[in-house]
Amino acid sequence: MNPMIDPLLAELDTEAKTTRRVLERVPEAKLAWKPHPKSSSLGQLALHTAQVPGALARILSPDVFTIVPFGQAQPTKAAELFAGLDDGVASARVFLTGLTPERATATWTLVNGDKQIMAGPRIGFVRALMFNHWYHHRGQISVYLRLLDVSVPSVYGPTADENPFMP
């Protein structure tokens, strides 16, 4: 039992279920759809969202992480989204479980070449990058779904399509 990490593990489990519900609404036939030429496709955004916990676990593992060029794959099947989510959540769970209080509070640094972009206690970046970043992209998927006239699931409360508080 780790009082610093156990609440994060519980949040990971809860939010993984919510993310799965959102990803279940992504229509496979629309994976290549973009709301704007500058936007990611729905599939790229959904796959990125699915993979965020695991990707951030890898990024937050070393004490210093150097930015590398990033490109998001274009999935062709919805099953890729769920495999990405399952793998990402499993990786995040291993990472979080292994965080000792010393490692959680140690300084983590993000650099681009010789330029420091950010630095601070690793646990703060678990919250800001792993979790908040995940929720941000999940919210973007909700907008894409609305633009495609796909039913938007409840995340933290009612949507125009779903109200968990009403019978």
Q: How many domains does the chain have?
A: 1
Contact yes or no for 78/31 (Cβ under 8 A): yes
Q: What is the pLDDT along the chain (167 residues), one digit of tens a residue?
A: 788 899 999 999 999 999 999 999 999 999 999 999 999 999 999 999 999 999 999 999 999 999 988 788 999 999 999 999 999 999 999 999 999 999 999 999 999 999 999 999 999 999 999 999 999 999 999 999 999 999 999 999 999 999 989 88
Instruction: Give the per-residue pLDDT at 107.
Output: 98
Residue 61 belongs to domain spanning: 6-147
Residue 167 lies in a domain: no
Residue 24 in any domain: the answer is yes
pLDDT at 137: 97
In a domain, 126, yes or no: yes
Residue 65 lies in a domain: yes
Domain membership of residue 35 (yes or no) is yes
Residue 14's CATH number: 1.20.120.450
* Model pTM score: 0.94
DSSP codes joined into one string, the chain: --TTTHHHHHHHHHHHHHHHHHHHTS-GGGTT--SSTTSPPHHHHHHHHHHHHHHHHHHHSSSEEE---------SSTHHHHHHHHHHHHHHHHHHHT--HHHHHSEEEEEETTEEEEEEEHHHHIIIIIIIHHHHHHHHHHHHHHHTTPPPPPSSS--SS--TT--
- Report if residue 157 sits inside a domain: no
Backbone angles phi, psi at 111, to 5 degrees: -130, 155
Does some domain include residue 165?
no
For residue 154, tell me if it sits in a domain.
no
Predicted local distance difference test score (pLDDT) of residue 60:
97
What integer pLDDT is reported at residue 68 of this predicted model?
Answer: 87
